[in-house]
């Protein structure tokens, strides 16, 4: 790929190669096709296209996603973009799919796979697929968010298909377990590792494809995210520096919050820094600052200008990301108090969630409570590369990070005595190093809140 090539052409070429390998595999080609997709690189579009082309080629198809939210998203997108397909939404007996999914005429929900086998495409979570006992009529599967799927889940579901397209973002959060798995560390099929890692270890002839262009991340974010989180598989932004703009109807009131918002509108990033202090996770001042920032974002009547036209920045285009659930709950409570809608069932609302749950999501503006803010110590959880990567790569326009001062020192003083397991390939980058890089960049966009 030459750097001169237009992003659209580079991305199209990559997609064409992937579709050819998936829909018309050469004789003797490996049974899996793997696509590594950085944030917002058109993964969902690729899945829809692959599904359509496979069905056109006369195949019936099963799709595996990891959460009910992801499945519903995918069903909605597929139903809309490919109205000619009949889609079966297989769900668990005690969890009905969301109402937005069922309004499509070409979608049939059922908790029994037998009701759905005649459909062109059947979609469900990996947890539900593992229980499907039917004599599998599918030759092809698409596994979405495959890096989040655990190896043991693939082991249970792989008997259902012969060939599969695995699509996912290797930079996001790894699957995890709460019990000890040391005895399997280094085994190619460690059940707690990622499904893709296992599958590739056993099928070394598979060369992962890469989507080279992020359509979500603006030109202000793609280089940083690429350098900090994808050091060996760089990507670039699909839009130029002038393609995305945020404008405000209301002039700044001179407050630090507005200064941060303006900074983010202009540069794509802002670090709203509170004075250094050790706090508990639900640092009330930081939580208040996050909520106040969101409220000001809405009050100032921002408009997002992009290659897709212009649109007002409404509550549903804003997300708040945190590391912990209690932090999300505290932010939600603070937003409610500030009169900002947070309940999606009652109209457009701000999404407030943890990094785990924001995976795969996209917003115009994000406000992030830095995982290390106010902490006296950094733990492996807070330093996990994927967590920061998810939080820093959900936005199309701007990301405002709220944090207490002192993170650089905290990182410097963090003991780096990680154990090393033989045979486990080291994941790059290291969270500590990535945190340093991101923080270094953010420091250039710092606004102090006193």
Partner 1 sequence: MNVSTNAPSRGHSEPLSQRLAELRGPAPQRSLNARSLAALAANPGCHRRAVLDAAGVDKSALASRLGRPAPFGQSPFAIARGVIFESRLKADDYAALLEPLRRHLGLPADGGAPLVVPDLLRRSGSAVRADRTAEALAAAAADPDAWTLLDHPLLRLDVAGSTAYLEPDAVVVHGGRCTVVEIKSFPVLDGSADPAKVGAAARQAAVYVLALQHAAAARAGEALAPDPYTEQRLTGSPRLSVLLVCPKDFSNRPTAVAVDVRRELATTRRQLSRMTGIGRLLDALPPGTGFDLAVDEDGGPARSADELATAVEAVPAAYSPDCLSTCELGFHCRAQARCGDRVEQLGRGVRGELGSIRTVTEALAAATATGSGTDEAAERLAYAAALRAEALGAAVR
Partner 2 sequence: MSLLTTLARLEAVRSGRAEPLATVRHRHLSDRPMVVVPLTAAGEAGAPLAVLLGTDRDAPRLHLVPQPLNRTLRFDYLAELAADLLPYLEFFGADVEQIEGSEKDPETGEKTQVFRELCADAPQLIVPNSAGVHHLALIGRSTRFRRTVEDDEPGPYPAPVRVPLLGRWLTHLTDRAQVPGSSLLLPMTGLLARHWATGQSHLEDQHLAARLAWHFPPDGLAGAEAAERAESTRDERGQLLHPPAGPATDPRFDEVVLGPAIARYDAATSALAHSTEQRDDSGAARAREAVREAIEQLRGVLTAVLLPTWHDVWRGIDLLRTLPPAGHLEERWTGDRWSYTGHRDRLAAGEPPQPRQDDAVTAARKLAQREREQARLDVQEALDDPLAMAEHRLAGEAFAGVVTEVVPDYDTTGRSPKPRPLVTLRTDDRPHADLGREAHRVHGPSTQKAEIVAVDPAEGSITLRILSGMGRKKEPEPGSLPEPGELVTFTLFELTVRQSAPLPEPDDTPWTHGGPPGAAPGPVPSTSAFDEWE
Q: Does 159 help bind partner 2 (rule: CB under 8 A)?
A: yes
Q: Tell me how far apart the 2 most distant CA atoms of the chain are, in Å.
A: 66
Q: What dihedral do alpha carbons 310, 38, 107, 17 form, nearest 10°? A: 110
Two structure tokens written together for 28:
């003797």
Give the Cα separation of 207 and 59 in Å (integer).
24
Nearer to partner 2, 186 or 241 (CB): 186
Q: Tell me the per-residue interface mask from 104 to 133 with partner 2, x by CB under 8 A, - otherwise.
A: -----------------------x--xx-x
Residue 345, both tokens: 């069932």
Between CA 267 and CA 245 the distance in angstroms is 9
Contact call for residues 293 and 402 (beta carbons, < 8 A): yes
Q: Which is nearer to partner 2, 39 or 168 (CB)?
A: 168
Least Å distance, CB 436 to partner 1, is 7
The one of partner 1, partner 2, none whose footprint includes residue 154, by CB under 5 to 8 A per kind, is partner 2
Instruction: Give contact residues for partner 1 (rule: CB under 8 A).
Output: 182, 185-186, 231-232, 277-284, 374-377, 379, 412-423, 425-426, 428-430, 432-433, 436
Q: Quick one: what does residue 179 bind among partner 1, partner 2, none, with the CB cut-off 5 to 8 Å set by partner type?
A: partner 2
Count of residues near partner 2 by CB under 8 A: 36
CA dihedral 159, 162, 168, 172 (to 10 degrees): 30
One character per residue 219-258, x = contact with partner 2 (rule: CB under 8 A)? ----------------------------------------
Distance of closest approach, residue 127 Cβ to partner 2, in angstroms:
7
Instruction: Enumerate the H helices of 140-221 as residue ranges.
Output: 151-157, 195-202
CB 36 within 8 A of CB 209: yes
CA neighbor of 260 nearest in space, from 288, 291, 297: 297
Strands (E), 43-162: 61-65, 87-90, 107-110, 121-125, 140-143
Work out which of 36, 120, 190, 283 binds partner 2, going by CB under 8 A: 190
In order of 23, 147, 393, 438, the CA distances from 172 in angstroms are: 27, 8, 10, 16
Q: Which does 422 bind (CB under 5 to 8 A by kind): partner 1, partner 2, none?
A: partner 1
Instruction: To the nearest 10°, report the CA torsion of 153, 99, 113, 163.
Output: -50
Q: x/- contact string, 316-355, with partner 2 (CB under 8 A)?
A: ---------xx--x--------------------------
114 or 276: CB nearest partner 1: 276
Q: Specify the 3-state DSSP secondary structure of 276.
A: coil
C-beta of 70 vs 193, nearer to partner 2: 193
Of 22, 124, 151, 214, the one binding partner 2 by CB under 8 A: 151
Out of 109, 110, 184, 306, the only residue in the binding site for partner 2 (CB under 8 A) is 184
Among 199, 211, 272, 320, binds partner 2 (CB under 8 A): 199
Looking at the Cβ atoms of 128 and 375, the one nearer to partner 1 is 375
The site partner of 238 among partner 1, partner 2, none (C-beta below 5 to 8 Å per kind) is none
CB 222 within 8 A of CB 40: no
Distance CA 364, CA 115 (A): 39
- CA atoms of 333 and 336, how far apart (whole Å): 5
* Shortest CB 427 distance to partner 1, Å: 9
Four-point Cα dihedral 289, 291, 296, 301, nearest 10: 150
- Relative to beta strand 269-274, strand 395-404 is parallel
Q: How far is the CB of 181 from partner 2 (least distance, A)?
A: 6
Binding partner of residue 303 among partner 2, partner 1, none, CB cut-off 5 to 8 Å per kind: none
Q: Residue 361 to residues 148, 348, 443: CA-CA distances in angstroms?
A: 14, 16, 26
In this structure, how many other beta carbons lie within 10 angstroms of the beta carbon of residue 134?
Answer: 12
Q: Which is nearer to partner 2, 155 or 219 (CB)?
A: 155
The torsion angles phi and psi of 274, rounded to 5 degrees, stand at: -90, 160
Task: Choose between 156 and 333: whose C-beta lies nearer to partner 1.
Answer: 333
Q: Which does 283 bind (CB under 5 to 8 A by kind): partner 1, partner 2, none?
A: partner 1
231 binds, among partner 2, partner 1, none (CB under 5 to 8 A by kind): partner 1
207 closest CA partner among 36, 65, 429: 36
Residues in region 19-38 near partner 2 by CB under 8 A: 31-32
Chain position carrying tokens 């709203």: 272
CB of 323 to partner 1, least distance (A): 12
Sole window of 107-115, 147-155, 221-229, 435-443 interacting with partner 2 (rule: CB under 8 A):
147-155
Q: Which residues bind partner 2 (CB under 8 A)?
A: 31-32, 127, 130-131, 133, 151-156, 158-159, 164, 177-181, 183-184, 187-192, 195, 198-199, 202-203, 325-326, 329
């Amino acid at each position: 790929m030459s750097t001169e090539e237009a992003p659209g052409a580079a991305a199209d070429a990559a997609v064409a190669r992937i579709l050819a390998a998936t829909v018309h595999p050469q004789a003797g080609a490996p049974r899996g096709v793997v696509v590594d997709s950085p944030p917002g690189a058109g993964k969902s579009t690729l899945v829809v296209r692959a599904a359509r082309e496979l069905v056109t080629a006369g195949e019936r198809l099963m799709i595996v996603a990891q959460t009910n939210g992801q499945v519903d998203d995918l069903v909605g997108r597929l139903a809309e973009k490919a109205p000619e397909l009949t889609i079966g939404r297989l769900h668990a007996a005690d969890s009905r799919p969301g109402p937005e999914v069922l309004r499509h005429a070409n979608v049939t929900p059922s908790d029994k796979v037998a009701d759905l086998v005649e459909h062109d495409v059947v979609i469900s979570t990996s947890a539900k697929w593992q229980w499907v006992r039917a004599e599998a009529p599918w030759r092809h599967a698409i596994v979405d968010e495959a890096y989040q799927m655990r190896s043991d889940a693939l082991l249970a579901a792989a008997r259902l298909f012969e060939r599969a397209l695995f699509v996912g973002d290797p930079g996001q959060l790894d699957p995890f377990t709460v019990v000890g798995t040391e005895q399997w560390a280094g085994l190619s099929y460690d059940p707690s590792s990622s499904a893709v890692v296992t599958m590739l270890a056993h099928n070394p002839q598979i060369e992962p494809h890469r989507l080279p262009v992020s359509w979500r991340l603006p030109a202000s974010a793609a280089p940083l995210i690429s350098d900090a989180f994808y050091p060996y598989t760089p990507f670039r932004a699909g839009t130029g520096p002038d393609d995305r703009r945020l404008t405000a109807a209301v002039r700044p009131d001179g407050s630090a919050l507005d200064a941060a918002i303006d900074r983010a509108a202009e540069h794509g990033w802002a670090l709203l820094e509170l004075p250094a202090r050790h706090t508990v996770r639900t640092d009330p001042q930081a939580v208040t600052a996050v909520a106040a920032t969101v409220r000001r974002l809405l009050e100032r009547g921002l408009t997002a200008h992009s290659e897709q036209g212009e649109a007002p920045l409404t509550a549903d285009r804003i997300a708040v990301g945190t590391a912990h659930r209690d932090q999300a709950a505290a932010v939600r409570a603070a937003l409610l108090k500030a009169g900002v809608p947070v309940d999606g069932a009652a109209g457009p609302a701000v999404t407030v969630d943890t990094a785990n749950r924001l995976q795969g999501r996209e917003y115009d503006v994000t406000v992030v409570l830095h995982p290390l803010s106010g902490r006296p110590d950094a733990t492996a959880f807070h330093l996990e590369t994927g967590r920061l990567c998810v939080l820093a790569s959900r936005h199309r326009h701007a990301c405002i990070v709220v944090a207490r001062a002192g993170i650089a020192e905290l990182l410097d003083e963090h003991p780096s005595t990680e154990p090393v397991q033989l045979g486990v390939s080291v994941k790059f980058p290291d969270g500590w190093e990535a945190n340093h890089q991101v923080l270094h960049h953010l420091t250039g966009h710092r606004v102090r809140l006193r």
